[in-house]
Structure 1
Amino acid sequence: MATSRKRSEVEKEMKETLGLVPSFFQGIRDEFFDYEWELFKRLELGETLIPNKYKELMGIALHSETKCQYCTLFHTEAAKLFGATDEEIQEAIHYAKMSLGWSAYLNGIQTDYDMFAEEMERIVDYIKEKEPAE
């Protein structure tokens, strides 16, 4: 994979965007440097289908499970930059805790997957039927 820009050009853009070249980028080989920056810039900083605040709240929830202190700090600070409140951050973490607990329980008791899927379909259909027509 050939780089489309020189490393110095990419580093200049990083400094203009972030104020510095993060040390976690400095070890990336030249041939991947521009590609990794473009991907990071697009998914972490750019507007995508999922608003940035929600992407970062998902990152916090995800890394509360992976126990990666670097990622947890990064996504927490990014979520705040994109407008997340402390209450929203706490809720994302609490949701992850609750969801992971159910996952452990369902897998631990070896719930029949086909039965679970059929029940979920019935629940969704029931809730949709209850919703008022627009």
Structure 2
Amino acid sequence: MPAYDAYTFASFRRTMTVLAGAAALTIPLAIMPLPAFADDYDATIQDIQKTMGGVPSFISQFPKAGLPGAWSELKAIEFSDKTALPPKTKALISLAVAAQIPCTYCIWADTQSAKQAGATDQEIQEAVAMAALTRHWSTIFNGMQVDFETFKKDLGGEMSAAK
């Protein structure tokens, strides 16, 4: 475990106490995952370089203290082929969400990722259309304040009959 100075630990402890409210907070350090700090930054930059073949310039705009954790999450989910979803499916989901946000940067990158993972133009179009359909019906259900329990009852019967 890396060495943390007294100030860092005290600051972390104060934050956790505030989050816990009036209750006393005692978490054994052996089981408490400590956050990544900037001293992991250089190793993260090296890993990004190794994984991606370069370090995108926007990385320099990301807070140094947050980069190790953000990269770890991205690498473990999006870049890993050892997850429940195959890379093409993850890229299509990401593209569909990006189209709804909307995020021009993500749409471009996710389209490239989907194509690299073997997605056809038709699959990309269908993923985006599914996002649009979901947004459309979500707007209707929420805007018309459709009763959720009735909705579940209605579709529960309809869905089992459709099988």
Normalised by the size of structure 2, how large is the TM-score? 0.70
Specify every segment of 5 or more residues in structure 1 that has no aligned partner in the other structure, as ranges: 129-134
From the superposition, tell whether residues 108 and 36 of structure 1 become closer, same or farther in structure 2 (CA, over 3 Å).
Answer: closer
2:156 to 112, 121, 126: 121
- Identity of counterpart residues, as a percentage? 31
Q: What does residue range 72-91 of structure 1 map to in structure 2 within 5 Å?
A: 72-91=107-126
What is residue 62 of structure 2 aligned with on the other side? 28
Specify every segment of 5 or more residues in structure 2 that has no aligned partner in the other structure, as ranges: 1-34
1:39 to 73, 83, 86: 73
Q: CA deviation at 1:46?
A: 0.3
CA contact (8 A) 2:36 2:68 kept: no
- TM superposition outliers: structure 1 runs of 4+ over 3 Å: 2-6
Please tell me the residue identity of whatever aligns with 2:89.
Y
Superposed CA deviations along residues 69-118 of structure 1, whole A, max 9, x for unmatched, are 11111211111121111110000111111221111222222222221110
Which one has more relative contact order, counting CA pairs under 8 Å at least 6 apart?
1
Work out the CA distance in 2 between the residues paired with 1:110 and 1:12. 51
Q: CA RMSD in A?
A: 1.9
CA contact (8 A) 1:5 1:34 kept: no
Who wins on radius of gyration, i.e. which is larger?
2
Work out the CA distance in 1 between the residues paired with 2:45 and 2:120. 31
Please tell me the residue identity of whatever aligns with 2:123.
E
Q: What does residue range 1-134 of structure 1 map to in structure 2 within 5 Å?
A: 1-3=35-37, 6-47=40-81, 48-128=83-163
Normalised by the size of structure 1, how large is the TM-score? 0.83
From the superposition, tell whether residues 113 and 83 of structure 1 become closer, same or farther in structure 2 (CA, over 3 Å).
Answer: same
